[in-house]
Amino acid sequence: MERVRIGVIGTGGIVQAVHIPQMLAHGRVDFAWCADSDPATAAKAATLAHAPVSGTDYRALLRDHPVDAVTIGTPHVAHYDAVMAALEAGVHVCCEKPLAMTVAEAEAMANEAARRGVITFVPFSYWFVPAARLMKELIDEGALGQLTHINGYYGQGFGLTDMPMRWRFQRAIAGSGALGDLGSHLISLTYLWGGKIRRLTAHTKTFVHERRIEGTDQMAQVDVDDDVQVIGELESGALINLSASRTYAGRGNFQRVEVSGFKGGAVYNNSHGDELEVCLGDAWVARNQWGTLKVQPKHRLTQMQVFPNAILERKAPADVLPNFQIGLEVQRVMEAIEESATSGQWVSL
């Protein structure tokens, strides 16, 4: 295979801002068509992607304009149907996070992809921040020793604004609020660096309960979380403390995660994606001294080019990360968080 033909299902903000530009820059990707429930949005994306066809019926496009793969960026509630249609067509699938609305959906998607032997990809974008990849390298090398803590914070502030009602504030469409939008990223980074979560307890809260329906004076109920707080324990025994919120004043898109072990510590900050703050080695740890460790060229990887590269290189699906299996693991943690927040009890995974 010399080139990859890709169809697009759902052509909203993240697809037009990230998926299409990054894959176009790959040089060996051709977009065959763009599908969206809004024909004007589909047509706009098709122009951006240099795709000859656009429409609203992705099943018809899959049938009439065969592709090697699809990338999916619909609202969360539509992920399952789009993924299963693509898998039925036998194509490789990239699907935005969170993978599904429920664990049952995510399991069905992961199982069907495995049965068909196709490559899957879930764009947990912060896996591809160079500093996050350097953190992974340090942990794998044993530079931090056995991990003791992962303390992570992800703050945005748009939930405090007078933003009108959007699908992300509606459980029936989004599935959850800050948990799925932001918390899923922290969960995925925790998995990347520390492995699976064994048990947790969680609390969620909605601060803004109503939002104006755009173009009217009417108000609509917000029924998703603005904020999620989680403490728990990894299978390794390390402790976690994760916080994700849309209601941190003055925060645009800010992450800070400190990872500690018996031999040292490192701090990841997405505002400084080319470096880590580190305290490594006996001399530094004994004196509580921290310094800056810069990334290297090997830590740079363009997120949305991993997917077509894997197809062109005919990689084994299990070797392409993060894939649907990782998406499923994150979905299990999200469901456990909601269960704990409802019951007020610890939940084991």
Residue ranges of domains in the chain: 4-125+304-323, 126-300+331-348
pLDDT over threshold 90, residue 348: yes
Instruction: Kindly indicate the confidence band of residue 12, based on its pLDDT and cuts at 50, 70 and 90.
Output: confident
pLDDT of residue 177: 96
pLDDT of residue 300: 97
pLDDT of residue 255: 98
pLDDT over threshold 90, residue 138: yes
Q: What average pLDDT does range 260-266 have in this prediction?
A: 98
Phi, psi of 278 (to 5 degrees): -135, 150
Phi, psi of 281 (to 5 degrees): 95, 150
Average model confidence (pLDDT) across the chain: 97
pLDDT over threshold 90, residue 86: yes
pLDDT over threshold 90, residue 175: yes
- Rounded to whole angstroms, how far apart are CA atoms 244 and 7? 33
Homologous superfamily (CATH) of 4-125+304-323 is NAD(P)-binding Rossmann-like Domain (3.40.50.720)
pLDDT of residue 202: 98
pLDDT of residue 4: 98
Model pLDDT for residues 185-198, shown as the tens digit of each residue: 999 999 999 999 99
Q: What average pLDDT does range 68-97 have in this prediction?
A: 98
Model pLDDT for residues 49-68, shown as the tens digit of each residue: 999 999 999 999 999 999 99
Say if CB 119 and CB 307 are below 8 A apart: yes
Do the domains at 4-125+304-323 and 126-300+331-348 have one common CATH topology? no
Instruction: Kindly indicate the confidence band of residue 110, based on its pLDDT and cuts at 50, 70 and 90.
Output: very high
pLDDT of residue 1: 83
pLDDT of residue 162: 92
Model pLDDT for residues 197-213, shown as the tens digit of each residue: 999 999 999 999 999 99
Q: What average pLDDT does range 164-193 have in this prediction?
A: 96
Instruction: Kindly indicate the confidence band of residue 5, based on its pLDDT and cuts at 50, 70 and 90.
Output: very high
pLDDT of residue 333: 98
The model's pTM is 0.96
Instruction: Kindly indicate the confidence band of residue 286, based on its pLDDT and cuts at 50, 70 and 90.
Output: very high
Model pLDDT for residues 20-43, shown as the tens digit of each residue: 999 999 999 999 999 999 999 999
Fold of 126-300+331-348: Dihydrodipicolinate Reductase; domain 2 (3.30.360)
Model pLDDT for residues 231-243, shown as the tens digit of each residue: 999 999 999 999 9
